[in-house]
Amino acid sequence: MPDYSTCTSVTPQCPVSATTYGYYPNLPGNIILSVVFGLCTIAQLGLSIKGRTWTWLAGLLIGCGLEFAGYIGRILMHSNPWSQNAFRLQIITLILGPSFIAAGVDLTLKHLVIHFGKQYSLIKPALYTWLFIGFDIFSILLQAAGGGIAAAGETNVDLLNTGDHLIVAGIALQVAQLVAFGVVSVYYGFNVYRHQKAGPARVSKVSGGLIYFMSMVAVAYVCILIRCVYRIPEMAGGWGSGLQRDETLFLVLDGAVVAIAAIALTLAHPAIFFPVMGNGQSHSQSNVEIKSERENGMTEESDTH
């Protein structure tokens, strides 16, 4: 069996087919994705500073920035598929990037619960952040460890497999967390809708901007979930598997769907459409509760007269 451990560039002795992916990464596709994520990174930075949405900024800036760096790595691999540095860059960043974007999605539920009323929720709003972001962090740590081990062991099969298993475990945890987030969100939304139908005064009025924001968050959620579900069999098949060598599938089910998520969360930035997520806003649980209680009190008084 040929030994490719010393390969540094494509030659007759080191064919591109012997690399992990087995192809020259598509240049136009990866350039387009790098531009999209680069623009989203810049836009997220500017809008988040303007709206003082610092926690949101942490997730989206890191997530979009990692995706941008990852596609730069793939562009470099187009020139040299054997480049160890380019391989390391893209494998680590493209594994981790979507998890940070998902963390941004998770942040919205707490603020929506505060906005519409905690009385419709099973748990306190603050616990949503601790639970879902906590799982996000653990998932990111697993994937980071796996990506680091895999990047360090390019030609060491044992290290590659160990890294692969950690990455799969991290992504599987991410999928479980996303499914749980979806179930809890739908349950809360159903409760709000049910009470709104029973008495409009009990639930905060929903503006067109907020509906747009929630719709784009839902789009981003579905996109990230699709990407994670795709990544499990892709990584579970091992390095150099058929799924891993299918670039078209990767560009669609990872690159494109994550790009759609990033675009959706940029076009519907909370600084514009849900500004109460910003630290400088007066959005607080007590304010909403007082408003709700006053509205309920006025409604009850009118009913007694």
Residue 102: which of 173, 192, 31 has the closest Cα? 173
- 36-67, pLDDT tens digit by residue? 999 999 999 999 999 999 999 999 999 999 99
- C-alpha span between 43 and 47 (Å, rounded): 6
pLDDT for residue 303 is more than 80: no
Model confidence at 288: pLDDT above 50: no
Cα 228 to Cα 36: distance, rounded to the nearest angstrom:
20
CATH code that applies to domain 24-274 = 1.20.1070
| Cβ pair 225, 64 in contact under 8 A | no
Q: Is 11 helix (H, G, I), strand (E, B) or coil?
A: strand
For the record, the structure tokens of 242 come out as 């058929």
One-letter identity of residue 5: S
Q: What is the CA radius of gyration of the chain?
A: 23
Tens digits of per-residue pLDDT, 77-129?
999 999 999 999 999 999 999 999 999 999 999 999 998 888 888 888 888 88
Highest mean pLDDT (candidates 151-160, 203-212, 235-244): 235-244
pLDDT (0 to 100) of residue 196? 74
Q: What is the pLDDT of residue 4?
A: 81
Average pLDDT over residues 238-260: 94
State the pLDDT at residue 1. Answer: 66
- Higher pLDDT among residues 236 and 28, named by residue: 28
CA distance 121 to 65: 34
The predicted model gives 138-150 an average pLDDT of 91
Joined together, the tokens standing for residue 50 give 């303007």
**HEC-encoded secondary structure of 118-129:** HHHCCCCHHHHH
Least confident of 108-117, 189-198, 215-224, 245-254: 189-198
Cβ atoms of residues 153 and 160 within 8 Å: yes
Per-residue model confidence as pLDDT tens digits over 176-193: 999 999 999 999 999 988
Quick one: what percent of the chain has pLDDT higher than 70?
A: 87
3-state class (DSSP) for residue 177: helix
Mean of pLDDT values over 127-138: 90
Could you tell me which residue, 124 or 15, shows the higher pLDDT? 15
Q: Which residues are registered as beta bridge partners of 14?
A: 11
User: Which pLDDT score is estimated for 210?
Assistant: 92
Question: Where do the structural domains in the chain lie, given as residue ranges?
Answer: 24-274
**Average pLDDT rounded to a whole number, residues 275-294:** 54
Distance separating alpha carbons of residues 258 and 260, to the nearest angstrom: 5
